[in-house]
């Protein structure tokens, strides 16, 4: 495959040398399935005496029972910290930290992960612990209390950073606080989680046939590392995993304004619109459209709101794909006295993208930016093999990564316009603002019906 780097020399000062295409075909690595269904991606890399592993465990915060939101997070957080059948928590910490090794597990909305890093010389010891942590966590009571207290403290502190608060609460209002895409952990739901719940959760989701492993580094040959993995995970029995049914999302699709009054130096503004489902090929023109709209400091949002008008330091857009409808987000922080100018400009830029075909030169530049920087998706062999594993995890076709550049390069200005026209509907967007309304330059009601919320 030759990556198409369109020769946009006309945009460059005449003194620059001719730019050749970036020719890079990401190595495939190897993919093996163990007898118990565990998928293993491998890429040997002997440049440094280090081995990295990550596991994708198919679950996520959205699988929590509604009355126990936080169950997945506490389970993942305690896999290592709560000890295992074979190792006490203190023993794990002492061994790993003395060897400068890491074993950490975490959970996001749609994926749980367990990561391991070890120096080559300690691989056997660290791998023993890593496998135990994945297979046999014991959720010791005092560690459960500690994790629960920490989770409760984080809930108390969730509004300390108003920018993050704005994004989180906007998404919550967008999907509704009862939908798994929008909900957040609460004191009552965290308190409802029992050790038995965590054991049952682990029992259900942490199964070899529900895990994809990505391994890279100086691990000898594939046979050697596979033998090590089989010795530890081989006897782990496969089994059926029960997934809850996630209710379909329902998005109001009419302009609504949400507001939290807070006396802070900036107003934080979020604009949300209905996005796309994962695996929809519309992602290619949408990626190009977003790159033009809010993808970097020469994008339209940054150019107008930041560089030309000096209204903001932070302003951007992106889109999040989900199994059901994702979202398209615009974000900006500006002083309360100029919030309406910044917000009006954000809405206008979405509208212009949807109404007017962009100059071919701008579309080409956005594509060049995506195509020519594609190689940076894989700065290291571990990041490359993790990327490949993640595409399988999220259900993309096997050649997704290899065709990505061509699919971006094919996008033309008409498709960008058609996609923006279909998806950018700022008149139907949800607007969320946190800031000091006493200093606002215009009342929020000028942007639509306002619901004022109390920070909680």
Partner 1 sequence: MKSLALFPILLLCCAPLYAAGGEKSEALPPGAGIEKDPQYPQVVSYTLKNGLKLLILEKTFVPTVSFTMMFKVGNVDGQQGKTGLAHLFEHMAFKGTKTINSAGYDKEKVALEAVEKAAQALIAAETETSPDPKKTEELRGKLADEEKEADKLIVKDEYWKLYSTLGESGMNAMTSTDYTGYVVSLPSNRLEAWMIIESDRFKNAVLREFYRERSVVMEERRMGESDPNRLLWETLFSNAFVAHPYHNPTIGWMDDLTRLTRTDADKFFKTFYVPNNATLAIVGDVRPAEAIKLAEKYFGSWERRELPERNYTKEPPQKSEKIINVFFKAKPAMRIGFHNPGMANPDIYALLMASEVLSNGKTGRFYKNLVEGKELALYANSAHSTPGDRYPSLFVIAAAPKAPHTLEELDGAIMSEIDTLKKEPPTQWELDKILNNYQADMIKQLESNPGLGMSLAHNEGILGDWRYDWKTGAELSKVKPEDVSRAAAKYLTRDNRTVVFLREPLEQEQSGKP
DSSP single-letter state for residue 324: S
Q: In terms of Cα–Cα distance, which of 83, 320, 62 is closest to 195?
A: 83
Site for partner 1 in 246-305 (CB under 8 A): 262-266, 268, 296-298, 303
Tokens of 80: 């290592």
Which of 244, 310, 359, 443 touches partner 1 (CB under 8 A)?
310
Q: Residues 10-49 vs partner 1: string with x where CB under 8 A?
A: -xxx-xxx-xx-xxx--------------------xxxxx
DSSP single-letter state for residue 106: E
Least distance to partner 1, CB of residue 261, Å: 12
Least distance to partner 1, CB of residue 286, Å: 18
Residue closer to partner 1 (CB basis): 48 or 200: 48
By the 10 Å C-beta count (0-12 exposed, 13-18 middle, 19+ buried), 358 is classed as buried
Residue closer to partner 1 (CB basis): 271 or 312: 312
Least distance to partner 1, CB of residue 22, Å: 4
Q: In terms of Cα–Cα distance, which of 138, 96, 112, 132 is closest to 54?
A: 112
Check the CA dihedral 316-322-327-328 and report its sign: positive
Which of 125, 204, 209, 372 touches partner 1 (CB under 8 A)?
372
Which of 109, 314, 351, 428 touches partner 1 (CB under 8 A)?
314
DSSP 3-state of 320:
strand
Tokens of 184: 């957040």
Least distance to partner 1, CB of residue 28, Å: 14
Binding-site size for partner 1 (CB under 8 A) equals: 75
Instruction: Give yes or no for residue 359 binding partner 1 (CB under 8 A).
Output: no
Contact at 8 Å (CB) between 431 and 256? Answer: yes
Least distance to partner 1, CB of residue 449, Å: 27
Q: In terms of Cα–Cα distance, which of 82, 81, 96, 86 is closest to 126?
A: 96
Q: Residues 190-229 vs partner 1: string with x where CB under 8 A?
A: ----------------------------------------
Residue closer to partner 1 (CB basis): 175 or 268: 268
d(Cα 255, Cα 423) in Å, to the nearest integer?
15
Tokens of 266: 């900036």
Residue closer to partner 1 (CB basis): 45 or 110: 45
Whose tokens are 């942490």? That residue is 206
Helical pair 141-156 and 195-205, crossing angle rounded to 10 deg: 90
Instruction: Give yes or no for residue 50 binding partner 1 (CB under 8 A).
Output: yes
Which of 33, 313, 348, 443 touches partner 1 (CB under 8 A)?
313
DSSP 3-state of 114:
strand
Instruction: Give yes or no for residue 335 binding partner 1 (CB under 8 A).
Output: yes
Instruction: Give yes or no for residue 106 binding partner 1 (CB under 8 A).
Output: no
Site for partner 1 in 61-90 (CB under 8 A): none
Residue closer to partner 1 (CB basis): 23 or 194: 23
Contact at 8 Å (CB) between 255 and 447? Answer: yes
| Interacting span for partner 1 (CB under 8 A) from 207-215, 379-387, 393-401, 423-431 | 379-387
Site for partner 1 in 413-442 (CB under 8 A): none
Tokens of 403: 């065709």
Residue ranges with strand state E in 204-280 = 211-217, 256-261, 267-274
Which of 4, 8, 148, 396 touches partner 1 (CB under 8 A)?
8
Which of 57, 112, 270, 371 touches partner 1 (CB under 8 A)?
371
Residue closer to partner 1 (CB basis): 179 or 300: 300
Counting every residue written for the chain, the total comes to 456
Residue closer to partner 1 (CB basis): 21 or 178: 21
Residue closer to partner 1 (CB basis): 217 or 326: 217
Segment (H or E) for 202: helix 195-205
Q: In terms of Cα–Cα distance, which of 278, 295, 285 is closest to 331?
A: 295
Instruction: Give yes or no for residue 320 binding partner 1 (CB under 8 A).
Output: no
Please provide the distance, in angstroms rounded to a whole number, between the alpha carbons at the two ends of the chain: 52
Site for partner 1 in 127-186 (CB under 8 A): 146, 149-150, 153-154, 156-157, 159-163
């Amino acid at each position: 495959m030759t990556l198409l780097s369109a020769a946009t020399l006309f945009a460059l000062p005449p003194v620059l040398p001719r730019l050749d295409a970036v020719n890079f075909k990401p190595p495939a690595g190897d993919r093996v399935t163990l007898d118990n269904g565990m998928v293993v991606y491998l890429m040997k890399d002997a440049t440094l005496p280090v081995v990295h592993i990550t596991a994708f465990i198919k679950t996520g915060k959205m699988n929590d029972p509604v009355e126990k939101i936080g169950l997945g997070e506490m389970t993942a957080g305690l896999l290592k910290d709560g000890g295992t059948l074979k190792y006490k928590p203190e023993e794990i910490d002492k061994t790993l930290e003395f060897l400068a090794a890491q074993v950490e597990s975490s959970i996001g909305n749609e994926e749980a992960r367990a990561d391991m890093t070890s120096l080559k010389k300690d691989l056997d010891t660290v791998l023993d612990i890593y496998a135990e942590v994945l297979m046999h966590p014991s959720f010791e009571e005092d560690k459960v209390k500690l994790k629960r207290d920490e989770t409760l403290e984080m809930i108390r502190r969730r509004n300390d950073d108003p920018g993050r608060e704005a994004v989180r609460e906007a998404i919550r209002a967008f999907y509704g606080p009862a939908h798994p895409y929008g909900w957040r952990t609460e004191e009552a739901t965290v308190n409802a989680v029992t050790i038995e719940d965590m054991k049952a959760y682990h029992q259900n989701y942490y199964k070899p046939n529900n895990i994809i492993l990505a391994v890279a580094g100086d691990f000898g040959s594939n046979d050697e590392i596979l033998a090590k993995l089989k010795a530890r995970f081989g006897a782990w029995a496969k089994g059926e995993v029960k997934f809850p049914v996630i209710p379909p999302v329902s998005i109001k699709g009419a302009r609504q304004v949400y507001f939290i009054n807070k006396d802070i130096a900036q107003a934080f503004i979020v604009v949300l619109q209905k996005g796309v489902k994962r695996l929809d090929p519309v992602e290619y023109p949408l990626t190009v459209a977003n790159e033009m709209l809010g993808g970097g400091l020469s994008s339209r949002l940054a150019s107008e709101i930041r560089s030309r008008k000096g209204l903001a330091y932070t302003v951007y857009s992106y889109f999040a794909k989900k199994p059901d409808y994702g979202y398209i987000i615009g974000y900006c922080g500006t002083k309360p006295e100029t919030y309406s100018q910044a917000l009006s400009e954000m809405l206008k830029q979405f509208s212009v993208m949807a109404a007017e075909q962009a100059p071919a030169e701008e579309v080409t530049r956005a594509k060049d930016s995506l195509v020519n920087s594609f190689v940076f998706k894989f700065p290291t062999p571990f990041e490359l093999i993790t990327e490949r594993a993640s595409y399988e995890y999220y259900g993309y076709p096997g050649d997704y990564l290899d065709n990505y550049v061509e699919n971006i390069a094919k996008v033309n200005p008409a498709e960008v316009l058609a996609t923006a026209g279909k998806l950018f509907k700022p008149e139907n967007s949800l607007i969320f603002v946190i800031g000091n309304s006493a200093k606002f330059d215009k009342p929020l009601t000028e942007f639509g019906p306002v619901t004022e919320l109390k920070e909680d």
